[in-house]
Chains A and B, each alone.
Chain A
């Protein structure tokens, strides 16, 4: 499902952000990426969606050869991945409903599909009542749930989240994790880069710990 083989990435400034990384994540797994700030967690996620291109090595994701694929195929890779960021990245002048519908429209969904799917997604993240509010009328936790509904809009095989709870208080953070877990239960592979120690400890999922661009631990039911 997601495979990294001897992946290297050096940024233009000369920072070796990823330095020979190997791992395999099976379909349906739930994986935490942990490690100190600057260890290369975000870079790993960016390599998966080809926001950054690896200098060497192989990345296979949903059967795409991510490193060597042509630029024009990148949109199709990304359609098979849902992405959630720390800062939500919602469109402020669109309602909750439109923010989710927008994601479906981008990938050519029909108006009927959109009308059917968006309410289902909003109820999954518990926001049916807020469909016609704007992002600035929502709490941080609610905004992140909208972002998750949007990430799920196109039924991705993989959901990746970069510090999804980084801007949230513990209560909202747990709500996000509960939803991520539920999504995972339905069969979606979930990869979460995080600093949230207590969450990682409690959930006892697979943990891949990074330091200075290398994997220093890969544990089946790990703690932080």
Chain B
């Protein structure tokens, strides 16, 4: 136990002996982890957007007001036969209105919807049509509108596709930067350890004559690497969360729908794990290379 404390103390001593390189190591690992955080957040949001987009891509086929029920069924059969239609589900006027009430009104405003069922202004019976392929929405819309008994087809334009494309581009760019930064982290940290080994080469040499095991010699350096990884993880986590908050407030003020995500804890865990792994790998590769044990 005392031995472990001793080795941890040695790890901190390494840090103090080599402050500048230590700071450089923490800086680069922090930058890397921030990029990783951005990558994760953009990825998660893009996934959320795609999910949202899929539901938006469903078409709501509004029928003429007060269409007879056999006529309504006939339209349903016709819809199923249209090329490119995957699924057709009937949604009654009442269901649609109830749904709207739930989404857009609360107890204080619900009275406004009184009597909506009695007119065809707010809703009519409808079919929810899922297209087979998201890209053929426009043509499908035209085909469906030709069917007798169909009033209008509601269909979101392709803004979400565009957003998801932008997210993809950001993801690729960040990924490239991330790979570059991981490489750079590796380089800087292994050089830090190499300098530490050099500064302690006399001591290490003596330790080995005395009969120190490889692990005893290596442990202080691994502890130094863990310290680098942990501090990097903590700092990058704080920065990522701050950046995300700023980003959220900007996006919210532009009134764009944005999935609220609770990624805080995941990002901290991820940073600790990835940061420590990168740092320890760089350390061990450096030790095994420069320490002829």
Which residues of chain A have a CB within 8 Å of any CB of chain B?
A: 49, 72, 75-79, 83, 89, 91, 102-103, 105-108, 110-111, 150, 153-154
Partner of A91, one of B6, B202, B212, B213: B202
Measured CA separation A137–B208 after assembly (Å): 26
A-B contact pairs, 26 of them (CB 8 A): A49-B209, A72-B214, A75-B211, A75-B212, A75-B213, A76-B211, A78-B209, A78-B210, A78-B211, A79-B210, A79-B211, A83-B210, A89-B202, A91-B202, A91-B203, A91-B206, A105-B3, A106-B207, A106-B211, A106-B212, A106-B216, A107-B210, A108-B3, A111-B2, A150-B210, A153-B210
Measured CA separation A106–B213 after assembly (Å): 8
Interface bits B178-208 vs A (CB < 8 Å: 1, else 0): 0000000000000000000000001101111
Residues on A with beta carbons closer than 8 Å to the beta carbon of B6: 105
Residues on A with beta carbons closer than 8 Å to the beta carbon of B202: 89, 91
Additional 17 contacts, C-beta under 8 A, given A75-B213, A78-B209: A72-B213, A76-B211, A77-B211, A78-B208, A78-B211, A83-B210, A89-B202, A91-B202, A103-B210, A105-B3, A105-B6, A106-B207, A106-B211, A106-B216, A107-B210, A107-B211, A153-B210
Q: Contact size class for B?
A: 10 to 19
Residues on B with beta carbons closer than 8 Å to the beta carbon of A154: 210-211
- The A interface is mostly helix, strand or loop, or mixed, namely helix
* Closest chain B residue to A99, Cβ basis: B206
Give the total number of A-B pairs whose CB atoms are below 8 A apart. Answer: 44
The smallest C-beta distance from B9 to any residue of chain A, in angstroms, reads: 11
Measured CA separation A102–B9 after assembly (Å): 13
